[in-house]
Structure 1
Amino acid sequence: MSTLSVTVEKLVVHPHPNADRLELAQVGLFRAVVAKGEFTTGDYALYIPEQARLPEALIAELGLTGKLAGAQHNRVKTVRLRGEVSQGIVCRPAALAGTDLAAAEAARTDFAEALGITKWVPPIPVSMSGQVEPAPELIRWIDVENIKRYPDIFEPGEPVVATEKVHGTACLVTYLRDGDRVLVSSKGVGGQSLALVHAPGNLYWRAAQRHGLAEAARKLSAALDLERVAFFGEVYGQGVQDLHYGATAAQDETLGYALFDLVIDPAPEPVRWLSRAEIEATLGDLGIEVPLAPVLYEGPYDIEALLGLAEGAETVSGTAAHLREGLVVRPASERYAPVLGGRAIGKIVSNAYLLRDGGTEYE
């Protein structure tokens, strides 16, 4: 998931092709349906992204009572309105009256806490939870922001690699040379610097053992003289999320796994994220076989081409079993992104995925 940030944005307003009383307010590359005449191009307004949970008072003020997603009808979700995809809410709540919106936009002020807006996090099934222990040495995963919200992550024409975004649950495995220890966690648990205590039925430990991740990391550590090695992969299959790629979590032999990132720690040098080419070369040179997330594009950064490529059928199973969740885009050579204040990486989520019925979003 992305981080939750409720910010003021400068709008570009477009006609709605199928409705005389509606328009489309563009924020980054997102478009949200708004009432015609409510905003004009150049106006500043608050943008509330998908996955946000709104307090009842704000829902009532915006005239959205009973219209949002979730059991309590308080969650922002992508919808289709009169044939157009609407992602997020564009508004000017009364609480912002008197606020210098242009200054707030320039400062990237986050109004989530002031407005009582929180991030929706789905409940975790028992198989994805377990007893935890402190793990300060665990290398944590990061939130990947949506390129539609931050279209300036990459420069036009910059060499990039786009891998298929696999709909599963992120499995974090960190190998520590000191003590020959292995830490296994999920994205949510690992984000708290906690690891999951080994348990036979735990999904993440099962995936790590099934795909030999500890042995692979130990081999990498010895070959490259590394203090720590971290594998980040998506565990998938029926019983994990609603998209299954022809795999199933019922038995270890049928549990799917796709590596999407690899971090090395050649202490005292800083930790380093490997590029996709480095991952393939490093694993290949050492004869390590770990399933990798499929590469769908390598070439110059072209946002229109990537937006189109995010749609379609999945390629993980080789059978186009269902729709594609989207893409994860990285530069061909790892670098810092000023707009994010961190690693240059972004995602594009397909409209078909966002609009599907009965979807699950476990971390």
Structure 2
Amino acid sequence: MSTLRVTAELLTVHEHPNADALELAQVGLYRAVVAKGAYVSGDAALYIPEQAVLPDTLIEELGLTGRLAGGAANRVKAVRLRGELSQGIVCRPRALADVDLAQAAADGTDFAELLSIAKWCPPIPPTMDGDVERAPGLLPWVDIENIQRFPAIFEAGEPVVLTEKLHGSACLLTYAAAEEGPGRVQVSSKGFGSKGLALQEDPRNLYWRAVLGHGVPEAAARLAEKLGASRVGIFGEVFGAGVQDLSYGANARSEELGYAVFDVSAEIDGQVVWLDAAELLEGELPLVPRLYEGPYDIDRVLELASGRETVSGRELHLREGVVIRPVPERYSPVVGGRAIAKAVSPAYLTRKGGTEYE
């Protein structure tokens, strides 16, 4: 899940092909449905992204009472309005009436706290929960921004790799080498890992079942020795029926629990670097499918983000999307960190009965 920022943006307004009273306001490559005539291209307005949880007062002001997602009808979710995908909300709240939104857009001001807008945190099922301990040495995963929100992360023609984004739950394993004897293994979820917490070993826990069942600690130890690394992080997706609503033919309630590595990091000579999981772990551990390697083309990215999954080999259901990485790894000034992004299938965003556990 990406970070939540509620910012002012300059809009490009398009005609809605199926509704005379509606238009499409574009932010990055996202489009949100708005009332016709409310904005013109070049206007500045507030953009509230998906997964934002709004306070009741703002919901009432925007005329969205009872129309948002979640049990409390307060969460922003992608929807189709008259056939067009609408992602996020474009508005001008009264609380910002005296704010120069064009200048705020230039400054990148975040209005989430001012407007009491929070990021939605999904509930934690019992199989993904457990006793935790502080883990300052845990190598964390990074939040991945959507390429449609930040289309300038990559340059046209830049060499990239696209891997399939799986709808499971991210599992973080850190192996810390020891001078003598076996190293220390810490396992966490994305949610706990972001708080610097690791899950105590428990054979009933989803993540521990996955890493022990697939021999991930042993693979991490071998990799640390090969690289001369003091720490190795192996990041995998745990999936199957009982994890999320998309199963890929696996089953978390049995020995058929799915697991696939999507990234690797290592601390070498005191510096943490990101490495190619396929190059290092092919034949060692299951890997997420690699769908494309070549020059970056946004149309190709969005095309591959949709379609059917390839993990099972049977195209059992829709694909969540793709993850884009540059070759080689680099820093991105656009997001102020690692150059990595995701593109998500519209069908995935608007599916019914979806789950989003971390």
C-alpha distance after superposition, 1:204-241 (max 9, x if no partner)? 00000011110001111122221001100100000000
C-alpha distance after superposition, 1:21-57 (max 9, x if no partner)? 0000000000000000000000000000000000000
What's 2:275 paired with? 274
- Residues in 2 aligned to 1:199 and 1:126: alpha-carbon distance in whole angstroms: 12
SS in 2 for 1:309: helix
Q: Indicate the larger mover: 259-268 or 125-134.
A: 259-268
The reply to whether residue 311 of structure 1 matches residue 306 of structure 2 is yes
C-alpha distance after superposition, 1:162-213 (max 9, x if no partner)? 0000000000000011361000000000111110000110000000001111
- Kindly provide the amino acid, as one letter, of the partner of residue 208 in structure 2: W
Q: How many residues in Structure 1 have an aligned counterpart in Structure 2?
A: 355
Q: Indicate the larger mover: 116-125 or 177-186.
A: 177-186
C-alpha distance after superposition, 1:58-79 (max 9, x if no partner)? 0000000111011111000000
- Kindly provide the amino acid, as one letter, of the partner of residue 40 in structure 1: V
SS in 2 for 1:257: strand
TM-score with structure 1 setting the length: 0.97
The reply to whether residue 216 of structure 1 matches residue 214 of structure 2 is no
Structure 1: gaps spanning 5 or more residues: none
What's 2:265 paired with? 263
- Residues in 1 aligned to 2:25 and 2:142: alpha-carbon distance in whole angstroms: 29
- Residues in 2 aligned to 1:128 and 1:110: alpha-carbon distance in whole angstroms: 32
What's 2:287 paired with? 292
Deviation at 1:353, TM superposition (A): 0.2
SS in 2 for 1:114: coil
- Residues in 2 aligned to 1:327 and 1:223: alpha-carbon distance in whole angstroms: 29
Runs of 4+ in 1 over 2 A off after TM superposition: 279-284
Deviation at 1:259, TM superposition (A): 0.4
Structure 2: gaps spanning 5 or more residues: none
SS in 2 for 1:59: helix
Deviation at 1:267, TM superposition (A): 2.5
Matches within 5 A, 1:314-333: 314-333=309-328
- Residues in 2 aligned to 1:35 and 1:154: alpha-carbon distance in whole angstroms: 32
- Kindly provide the amino acid, as one letter, of the partner of residue 70 in structure 2: G
C-alpha distance after superposition, 1:289-313 (max 9, x if no partner)? 1011101111111001111111100
- Residues in 2 aligned to 1:250 and 1:227: alpha-carbon distance in whole angstroms: 35
SS in 1 for 2:66: coil
C-alpha distance after superposition, 1:88-110 (max 9, x if no partner)? 00000001111111110011100
What's 1:93 paired with? 93
- Residues in 2 aligned to 1:274 and 1:221: alpha-carbon distance in whole angstroms: 12
